[in-house]
Structure 1
Amino acid sequence: MSQEPLTPGDRHFGKFDRNLIYLLVTVAKQLEADMPTLLEGTRLNPTTYRILGSCAIYGAVSISDLGRIMLIDRAQISRTAAQLEQDGLVRFAEHPHNKRKKMVTLTDAGRAELDHAAPRVTERREGLEAMLGKERLADLLDALNTISDVLPR
């Protein structure tokens, strides 16, 4: 008798069903794996989308701060931001108080590319939020922020 293979995320994946770390990692990977589909038709990948999104939220942001916000190595952020600059989606400026720091800001083309990608990403987020409902969403966000606050960065 043949059994259907189990896959991560299946409700009956055994002992992992209630393992918090396993579930958090699995959900994060599922969301990350889905991002290329949401970004189809744009010039963006998940990392470039997050960089542009961070610039949209924070305005001018340093490479170091982007690395801390996104939890990505500074060298990777630097390379990716340099490519975004070549593509005309961001521009670099000097930090007002530290000449060694580069500040990254969105260009109009970067804003347009982010705006082009945003509806599908927003639709996915809103769908997940609606599925959870307001109370469960608030509880989940509180719990995730509590966990984030105690983990090393």
Structure 2
Amino acid sequence: MDDRRLQKSAVEAVTELILETFRLNGRLLEAGDELVRHLGLTSARWQVLGTIDASPVPLPIAHVARNMGLSRQAVQRLANEMEKDGLVRFAPNPHHERAKLVLMTDQGKAAFRSAMAKQRRWAERLAEGLSVDTIADAARAVRELRQRLEKG
């Protein structure tokens, strides 16, 4: 098989993966919203809480946004709404006077823990019948594409 035909095949496969990822993203957001609606969360709010939870140190909004792959403005809007609802609070940042740190409140921590417990049961159902290797291969491929996009 010549390189040109192989390249076209790889291009078609990447394009198919991208389109499936778009479809999957839409379904994941819908399912996530449904899963955590009763907790006063949306998929987007849940992602913000997850990013805060995953960090070993408090982060300003710009760093939360970068870790999520979203704009600072979008995450700021979400954080402002979440502050009004008692899920997060802002704290002074010793490294930057204007870039406040965003922290989970006790209410936010409880909502996040509940969401993650529900997510685990949901993920177990989704994983039924799939091998760990298949899931890991898919995650590796998506991660590699994301990293390539991040490099520009």
User: Scaled by the length of structure 1, what TM-score is found?
Assistant: 0.80
1:138 aligns with 136
Aligned residues: 138
Could you list the runs of 5+ residues in structure 2 that have no partner in the other structure?
1-11
Identity %: 28
Match of 2:50 among 43, 47, 53: 53
Query: For residues 68 and 129 of structure 1, what CA distance do their matches in structure 2 show?
Result: 29
**2:23 is the counterpart of 1:26:** yes
Deviation at 1:123, TM superposition (A): 1.8
Match of 1:91 among 89, 92, 97: 89
Which protein has the bigger helix share?
A: 2
Matching of residues 1-153 of structure 1 within 5 Å? 19-58=16-55, 59-152=57-150
User: Scaled by the length of structure 2, what TM-score is found?
Assistant: 0.80
Partner letter of residue 24 of structure 2?
Answer: V
**Aligned-residue CA RMSD (Å):** 2.1
TM-superposition CA deviations, 1:71-106 (whole Å, max 9, x none) = 222122112111211222111112221112111111
Moved over 6 A (4+): none
Deviation at 1:130, TM superposition (A): 4.1
